């Protein structure tokens, strides 16, 4: 097993220079599929001219995390795939450690790394040096090492989720089929978190995150527990969002009002059965 056995998939949406930092952290001999959620030919030309190991696929629309990763996964011809967020960068030993650990595990569907964020950059070395595989129910979506043969009867991401809960849903479907998911503390991947895009669109992306967090929360629980249970779960959030929209309207706090309006809108649209239609206005 070597880097020739893996393809890295990165889904992006106006990621700017961050995407280059992510790509540079990957061994240049490793094939990368960059799924760019736009029709911007300049991005494709710029990336492919600078990086020989990258194929940039333009979706011509903003499809979101799940559907975009599915586009990449369906093009993969290697045995394994590593899904990376644009704001994630590999530590130099990350890919090597993935391959070391799969030599010791008889079967697995997904392996997730230890999360190394800015806030805990100097975390406990005893923990992060532990190569013991810990079986878990799900892993974070910013970096997922996939054994593609295990997905034949499950499929990949549910494309109804534009953003949030896609990886949790995928992991749940895998576990329901008896598949193994592991966390490996010694595999280090730096993740900035919620910084996959250009700073100039921060506001619109924040509004979009709030809308989709609420929509996905309702629909994830509805998928597995039914409408009534899901409604009871989100009812406090619905009431809170409504009250805060009214409160921030009264005190003329436009910024806060917009955020809670998006939360309210996401929930209402989910409850009445609308698809995850909202897209950042950029």
Domain boundaries, the chain: 3-191, 199-271
Assess whether pLDDT exceeds 50 at residue 118.
no
Tokens of 235: 């009812």
Confidence band for 203, pLDDT divided at 50, 70 and 90? confident
pLDDT band at 130 (very low <50, low <70, confident <90, very high): low
Q: What is the pLDDT of residue 196?
A: 53
Q: Is the pLDDT assigned to residue 94 strictly greater than 70?
A: yes
Region 64-72: what's the mean pLDDT?
A: 95
Mean pLDDT of 214-238: 98
Decide the pairing of beta strands 181-191 and 134-135: antiparallel
Q: Are 236 and 181 in contact (CB under 8 A)?
A: no
pLDDT band at 185 (very low <50, low <70, confident <90, very high): confident
Q: Please, what is the average pLDDT of the chain?
A: 89
| The pLDDT of residue 179 is above 70 | yes
Nearest to 145 by CA among 262, 30, 60: 30
| Three-point CA angle 82, 149, 169, nearest 5° | 65
Distance CA 275, CA 93 (A): 41
State the first-to-last Cα distance of the chain, in angstroms, to the nearest integer: 42
CA separation for the pair 165, 167 (Å, rounded) = 6
Which of 252, 277, 250 has its CA nearest to residue 262?
A: 277
pLDDT of residue 269: 98
Tell whether the model's pLDDT for residue 126 goes beyond 50. no
pLDDT digits (tens, 9 = 90+) for 7-58: 999 999 877 777 999 999 999 999 999 999 999 899 999 999 999 999 999 9
CATH class of the domain defined by 3-191: alpha beta
pLDDT digits over 135-156, tens only?
A: 999 999 999 999 999 999 999 9
pLDDT score of 123 more than 70: no
pLDDT of residue 188: 83
Per-residue pLDDT at 248 exceeds 70: yes
Half-sphere exposure of 179 (CA within 13 A, CB side): 24
Classify burial at 203, counting beta carbons within 10 Å of its beta carbon; exposed 0-12, middle 13-18, buried 19 or more: middle
- For the stretch 154-177, pLDDT in tens is 999 999 999 899 999 999 999 999
**pLDDT number for residue 121:** 46
Name the pLDDT band for 125 (thresholds 50, 70, 90): very low
């Amino acid at each position: 097993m070597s880097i020739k056995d893996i393809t890295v998939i990165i889904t992006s949406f106006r990621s700017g220079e961050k995407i280059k930092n992510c790509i540079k952290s990957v061994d240049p001999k490793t094939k990368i599929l960059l799924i760019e959620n736009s029709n911007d030919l300049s991005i494709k030309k710029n990336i492919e001219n600078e990086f020989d190991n990258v194929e940039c696929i333009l979706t011509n629309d903003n499809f979101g995390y799940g559907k975009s990763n599915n586009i990449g996964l369906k093009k993969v011809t290697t045995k394994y795939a590593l899904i990376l967020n644009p704001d994630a960068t590999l530590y130099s030993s990350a890919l090597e450690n993935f391959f070391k650990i799969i030599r010791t595990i008889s079967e697995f569907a997904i392996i997730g790394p230890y999360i190394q964020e800015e806030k805990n950059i100097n975390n406990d070395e005893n923990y992060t040096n532990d190569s013991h595989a810990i079986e878990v129910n799900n892993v974070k979506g910013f970096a997922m090492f996939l054994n593609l043969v295990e997905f034949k009867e499950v499929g990949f991401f549910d494309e109804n989720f534009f953003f949030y809960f896609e990886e949790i849903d995928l992991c749940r479907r895998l576990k329901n089929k008896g598949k193994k998911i592991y966390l490996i503390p010694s595999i280090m991947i730096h993740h900035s978190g919620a910084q996959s895009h250009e700073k100039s669109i921060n506001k619109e992306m924040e509004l979009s995150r709030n809308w989709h967090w609420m929509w996905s929360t309702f629909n994830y629980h509805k998928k597995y527990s039914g409408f009534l249970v899901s409604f009871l779960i989100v009812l406090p959030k619905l009431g809170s969002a409504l009250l805060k929209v009214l409160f921030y309207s009264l005190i003329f706090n436009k910024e806060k009002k917009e955020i809670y309006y998006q939360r309210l809108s996401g929930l209402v649209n989910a409850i009445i059965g609308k698809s995850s239609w909202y897209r950042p206005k950029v």
